[in-house]
Each structure stands twice: as C-alpha cells, then as structure tokens.
A and B are shown apart, each in its own frame.
Chain A
Amino acid sequence: MTGSARLPILIAVIVLALLPLGATSNTLLNFMTFALIVALAAQGWNLLGGYGGQFSFGHAAFFGTGAYAMGLLQVRFGLNPWAAMPVAMLLGAAVGWAIGFLAFRARLRGAYFALVTLAFAEVFRILANAWAFTGAAAGLLVPLKLQAANMQFEDKRLFYWLVLAFVAGALVLTAELARSRFGARLVALRENEDAARALGVDTLRVKLAAITLSAGVTAAAGGLYAQKSLYLDAAIAYGPWISVDALLAPIVGGLGTVFGPLIGALALLGLGELSKMALGNLFGGAVPGIDLIVFGILLILAVAFAPRGLLGLFDRLIRRPRPAEGGEATP
C-alpha cells in the first residue's frame, strides 16, 4: 500500500523537477510555476471538496489570506518571507477554521455551504479593497530584492523548485490522508453524512479538521503567488478566479484522487496557454479571444466525455470498462 502510493508521487515529482533542466524557455518556466501554484491551491480544495464532499466556492478567502499575510508581514512588519510563509499558512488555516465553524455548526451542506464560502470570499475581497492597511484599491507592492534570503531568486528555476516542493508535500499529505483513519472518516462523511454520524463519526470535528487543513494548503499557494508576482490587489488575491480554478482543476483532473488537482491544473492551464499560442500564431491576434472560445469548447468536451476527470478517463481507457460506469456517465 505504502509503496504503491509513494512511487508514483516520487516519479511525478522527479519528472517535474527535471523539466527546467531540459527546457530552458522562461516562458515555459513561468507558466509551469504559475500552474503549480494553482495546482497547490487545488490540492487544498481537493482535501475538503474531493475527499470530504464539501464543495467550497470560496477558496479565494484562504488563497487571498495567505497572499496578503505574506505581503503584509514583509511590507508592514519587516518579517523575512521564509518566516512569513508558515505564519501565512497558519492565518489561512485559522480563517478556514473560523468559516468552517460558522458554516458547519449551522449544519450548512451542499449549495448552502458553497454559497456561504462564496459570500465570505466576496466580503474579504471588499474589505481588502477598502482597508488602507492592505493597501486598499491601490494594492500592495512587495519590493523587488533578488536574494535567496528574500525568497526572490535570480534564477527562476529555484523558485519553481520551491513551489514544486510545496506541491510534493501536498501530494504526500493527500496520499497519507487518504490511507489514514481520518481520511476514511472524511470519505464516509462524503458518501453519507447521516450514516457516518450513526457509526460514531464526529462529523463536525472531521469537517473542521478538513477545512482547516484545506485552507492551510491553499493559503500556502497564495503566499507563493504573492512572492512570485510581488504585487497584490483585492481582485487578484480574493478574486473569484482562484476559487474557480481551485475547484475546476480537481473536477477536470479527478475528484478525490491524489493526482487529480495536479493533472487538472496542468491540463486546464496548459490547454489555455496552448490554444492561445497556436491560434495566436494562426490568426496573428486578428481575432481576439478565439483561443478562449476553443478553450471553452475543449473544456465542455472534456467534461462530457470524462465525467470522472482525466484520471477516470485514463482508467476507463486502459482498464476494461465496468458495466456500472456506463450508467454513471449519464447525469
């Protein structure tokens, strides 16, 4: 069991780590760094949404908290980014716990939980946009100082590897969690909350633990994003784009699987970038937005033909189709 979970992770991380040594293009490196940051946010979402079945539409609340904490601790309090990172993760986790406490204690489920998380993210966005401490609408600029001690690297590959290390950590965490007793309780809760409670699972506690962990991981993604772009405003940090990306990636990749968020993020963002490049070369930018149309069509096709995500599709293609699956595919 242990070997079968760890070996694919090791292989995936090694392949990703070797990538910048083979390909020297900074375009690819910048894209991969960004995609891995989104993957990390999605991995956080997957812990709560994929394994726990609690669909959050507002992971921007955690991403943004991580990002702003990272920026503010450096700019306003002069903290070193290496020290600020764990604080940012803790703050993100704390926000996750608080939102979870309010929502889960009120027994909010399904669409209601999704709407509450969405609302929290919006409230955070509006607050960050108005409060002078967060730089209000002018945003927050982290000074450019290219030093390793400052978590800003002259060599962009180093930052890529740092992000990859976080993604690897989240992969291991997810794999360990899936095998643990806590993971089993979480899955039980996803499948049937009432039945899980009847079996003696403290559902509130399990859900709270899951959202706290989930928020902490997504906050790390936010912190890394802040360090990558060195500029934040409310629409970037708390904007709905990251909530959508964080939930779309696991859905496209494979809900409640270890590799789903990573594969989904790479596929989604990669497709977007490829269609932009290919069509940009074809039309020379004469038809703005055509890449987004093609991207949308591909996305619809992906969801239509791979309802269980890319991993599910992969499964279906290499293994013999089980009769039950045909029934599942039709909504």
Chain B
Amino acid sequence: MTELTRRTLLQTGAAVGALVSMPAILRAQAAPVRIGILQPVTGALAQDGEYGRLGAQIALDEINAAGGIKALGGAKLEVVFGDARSNPEGGTQEVERMEAEKVSAIVGGFASPIVLAASQAASRYNIPYICDVGVSDQIVNRGLTNTFRFGPGFGIVTSTALENLVKLNEAAGKPAKTVVVVHEDGLFGSGMAKLLQAQLPGRGFEILETIAHPTPSRDMSNVALRIRALNPDLVIPSSYYAEFVLLARTMQQQRIRPKGIYAILNGAASNFRFVKEFPDAANLVMDCNHWADPRKPKTAEVRRLAEAGGRFWLYNTPLNYSCVKLLADAIERAGSSDRAKITEALASSTFADHIMPYGPTKFVNGQNQGAAPVNTQVQNGDIKVIFPDAFSDAKPIFPAV
C-alpha cells in the first residue's frame, strides 16, 4: 500500500515536472517501451539462442539509433532479456518476470516446446508474443489471439521441401531415384520422416531405409556404414547441428558420395560455422531452411554487423531481426505501448521492411501467410540460395558427382 502511494506520488511529481519543462525536453523524455527478448542462451540450445538474441539486439540498436518510436515522441525500445534455459519451465518463469517488468510484447522462444509454454503464459496477461522459429503447428492452432508466428510452420516447410526436391530432380533430368532418410527422433525429424515415407514413393522416389537417431548422438559411423551398404542416390538428413556435422564428416572420411545430400531444416547445412570448419564435408550440401533474402541490401548490412562481432551468419539472426522490426512497426502504428493495441496492430500488419524472403506480412490466425523456407546449397565456402528462382543468387549444382 505504501509502495503504491509512493509510486503515485512520484508519477504525479514527474508529470508536474514535465509540464513545467521545455517541450523539447518533454519529447526527449518519452517513456521507453519495454520489449521482452526470450531466448535459450544456456543449455542444449544455447548456440541458437545466442544468435537469435544477436539479431534482436541489432534491430533494437538500429531502431533506437534512428530515433525510436516516432508515434510515441521518439520513445526508445528497452530490452528486457530472458534466458529460457532450453526448457519450457524456464521460458514460463521468464515470461512471469517480464510481466512483472511490464513489457509491452515478447519476441523469441526458438524451440517449439518453449514457444508453446511461453506464449501460453503470456496469453494470460494478453502480452503479444511473436514466435521466431518454433515450427510446431500447435503454436498457432490453439486459438491464442496474442501469438503470432512470423516464420513458416511445419506444414509449409515440409510441403515446400518436398515440392522443391521434385522440381530440382526433374530439372536435372531425374538423376535421383533411391533415398535414405536420416532423422533425429524429436518433433521435427520424426514428423518429417513420416511425411517423406508417405509422399516420396508417389513422386517417383524409392525410400531404401529410414534411420532414426537420438539427440545427442556421439557416433554416426553405424549410420554412415548403413548408407554405404544401401548406396542411395540421395541422402535426406533432418538433424541438429552436432549430429549432422558428425554424419557429414564420417561420410566424407569413408568416401560415401551420394548424388546429393538434401537436408531439411537441418541444424548445420545452413550454418557458416560448419561451412568454415569443414569446408570439404559441407561442399554442395543442400538444405531447405529459413534463410535471409540475399537480394535485399539490408541483409548484407545486418550480416556485416553480426560478423563484426566475430559471429557466424545463421538464420536465427535475420529471423529475430525481422521479428523485432515487425514489432516496432506495430508499436509505431498502434501509437501506444498498450498490449491490446499492439496485438491489434500486429494482426493487421502488412510489414514488408524485413530481410526474409516472405513478401508483405499477413497474419491469418497468427500465422504469417507469406512465410516459406528456401533452398540453399553450400558452394565453394559460401551458402547460396538456389530455390525458388525469385530469391535465388546461384544455380543448383546437382547431381554433385
């Protein structure tokens, strides 16, 4: 009770003070808008969390340097950072803390379980929540009006990956007929494998075997030996970073050279760390994944800022950069730091000034309709976009041998 009185007193005092000051000072003192940035920066997902956070920070710095939110008298965006500790309970606890710190919106989460738990916790306080990566379709199918996903979900990613694979193969004269699927046994890998088993045979591919492995796995030699024995035209891996790097290196050491490696949402194939550290193993690996639009000038600028700090260029960075920009645009249009107004502005967003290959934003039930993955390929130490043509900066090299 005493605290409340004191706070009211302080607020009144501040208001009186502001009234008697110069109007210029009034503008300069516009109350900052607090933004929660939630990422798993410790635990198993720490690398992804760090890169996501980096993207958000670049966007926040850029917006503040350009004069903040103009509709709010140049109000600065103030970051409230939260570490989800790579588990849903950690995410929920951080949302509670962000609520106590009065954030206007939350961006991030990275992994589907964290996003599911955190966005639900945020919905209790009507805090708008923008999911950066989490692909589980449950995230936007629950009817939570506060939750928005800027990137593509599982359904879009898988159908795009499948369609592009067929197109790629046809354009090259159908060199690939037999396939081995290697996948991690979590949400994405298992779901992907099931879908491939159902869809690929109808599209002219024969699946020789589907090999599941847990995360983490410390040895991939059995998987590699199995691939050698089966000798497929195409290997489709859907795994996290360490496991795929291990697999690709083992395959290289054992001279297993399929006509192509076509990864789907792979943790490594679109990761410059892999490309820089193991250039031979990485060369010509293809991936269907989130990736920044290489033709937008802003992309190069954000990439330069990220790499200036000695970091690699990962998809987490441009995705989070774009999500924070999307949010800032919504706050600008809402003209308020009020949560309900920001949610409303997000729902009607047509934001196009992002660096993802999506086109203007349009949310239906919280899902950005234009969001889609692209196909990338490691070519001579660089990661190029090879598909779709509208965004590509290189031609696919397929078959690789």
Contact = CB atoms under 8 A, between A and B. Distances in A.
Number of chain A interface residues as a range: 20 to 34
B93 A34 contact: yes
6 contacts: A27-B96, A139-B138, A230-B120, A235-B113, A280-B83, A292-B42
Contacts of A273: 93
Interface string A19-35: 00000011101110010
Given A30-B96, A129-B185, A231-B120, A137 B87 contact: no
A138 interface: yes
Contacts of A129: 185-186, 190
Given A129-B185, A136-B190, A288-B50, A144 B136 contact: no
Given A141-B138, A231-B88, A236-B88, A288 B41 contact: yes
B113 A139 contact: yes
Contacts of B138: 138-139, 141
Interface of A: 25-27, 29-31, 34, 126, 129-130, 136-139, 141, 143-144, 229-231, 233, 235-236, 241, 273, 276-277, 280, 284-285, 288-289, 292
How big is chain B's contact interface, by range? 20 to 34
Contact of B42 (A143, A235, A284, A289): A289
Contact of B88 (A27, A144, A229): A229
B383 interface: no
B185 A130 contact: yes
Contacts of B113: 139, 231, 233, 235-236
A121 to B, nearest CB: 15
Instruction: Determine chain B's interface SS by DSSP, over half rule.
Output: helix
A129 to B, nearest CB: 6
Contacts of B116: 139, 141, 231
A137 B93 contact: no
Given A229-B92, A273-B93, A27 B100 contact: yes
B42 A144 contact: no
A40 to B, nearest CB: 15
Given A231-B113, A236-B113, A289 B92 contact: no
Contacts of A292: 42
Nearest to A25: B100
Interface string B113-150: 10011001001000000000000101000101000000
- When A and B form their complex, which 4 residue pairs have the shortest distance between CB atoms, in order from nearest? A288-B41, A289-B42, A137-B187, A285-B81
Given A34-B89, A231-B120, A273-B93, 14 more contacts: A25-B100, A27-B97, A30-B96, A31-B93, A126-B214, A129-B186, A129-B190, A141-B138, A231-B88, A231-B116, A231-B117, A241-B87, A288-B50, A289-B41
Nearest to B40: A288
B360 to A, nearest CB: 30
Interface string B352-386: 00000000000000000000000000000000000
Contacts of A236: 87-89, 113
